[in-house]
Amino acid sequence: MVFVIFLFLLFHSNGAFCRNCRTCGVEVDCAFATGLYLYHTDETVAGGANVMIEICRQVLDDVSRILAHQGKKLPNSISFSFDNSGENKNKFMICFQSHLVLADKFLDISVRFELSNNYLHMHFEIIFPNLRLFS
C-alpha cells in the first residue's frame, strides 16, 4: 500500500468575504481502495502536525473501511510519501507512525520525504503549477 500525500492551497485572498480553504490530496494505491482522496480544511482548523496526523488517520480509516467492504484487511506494510515540509516531517508524525507499529496495526512502515516541489522530475511536481493558479 502506498500513500502519496500532497498539499495544495486554494482561495488565498484578502477579501472580506473570502475564507482560506486548504485541500489535501492523497493518492492511495491499495487494491480496491486505490484512488484519489480529498480532505478539506479551512481557517477554523489549525494547521501543523495535528492536521496531517488527522488526515493520515482518516485515510487509514477510510482505506480499512473500503477494504472491509470487500472482505479484505489492511496490509502489513505501508509506505508513506510526504512532502518534505515541517508539517509532515516532525517528531509527532513519526511518533504517530511508531504508534501504529506499537499497536500492531502494521509490521513495517516506510516513510519518504521526497516530494520537494519543482525539484523532482516526477508526476507530483506537475500538480503544483496548476494549483498555484488558485493562490
Partner 1 sequence: MGHTHNHLDQEFSVLSRPIFKAEFIASPDALLKLYSTAHKDVRPLINRQIHAVADYTQYYAPFVHGKLKLVNNIIPLILHIRRHTLWGSTSMGDHQSVGYARFSVRHV
Q: Which residues bind partner 1 (CB under 8 A)?
A: 10-11, 19, 21, 23, 25, 27-28, 33, 35-42, 44-46, 48-51, 53-55, 58-59, 62, 66, 84, 89-92, 94-99, 101-102, 107-114, 118, 123-127, 129-131, 133-134
- Distance between CA atoms of 10 and 33, rounded to whole angstroms? 26
Q: How far is the CB of 73 from partner 1 (least distance, A)?
A: 18
**For partner 1, the closer CB: 58 or 73:** 58
Q: How far is the CB of 71 from partner 1 (least distance, A)?
A: 18
- Distance between CA atoms of 74 and 113, rounded to whole angstroms? 23
Q: How far is the CB of 74 from partner 1 (least distance, A)?
A: 16
**For partner 1, the closer CB: 73 or 132:** 132
Shortest CA distance to 7 belongs to which of 85, 79, 61?
A: 85
Residue-wise over 16-52: b if at least 16 C-beta within 10 A, else e? Answer: eeeeeebbbebbbebeebeeebebebeeeeeeebebb
Shortest CA distance to 52 belongs to which of 9, 88, 27?
A: 88
Q: How far is the CB of 24 from partner 1 (least distance, A)?
A: 9
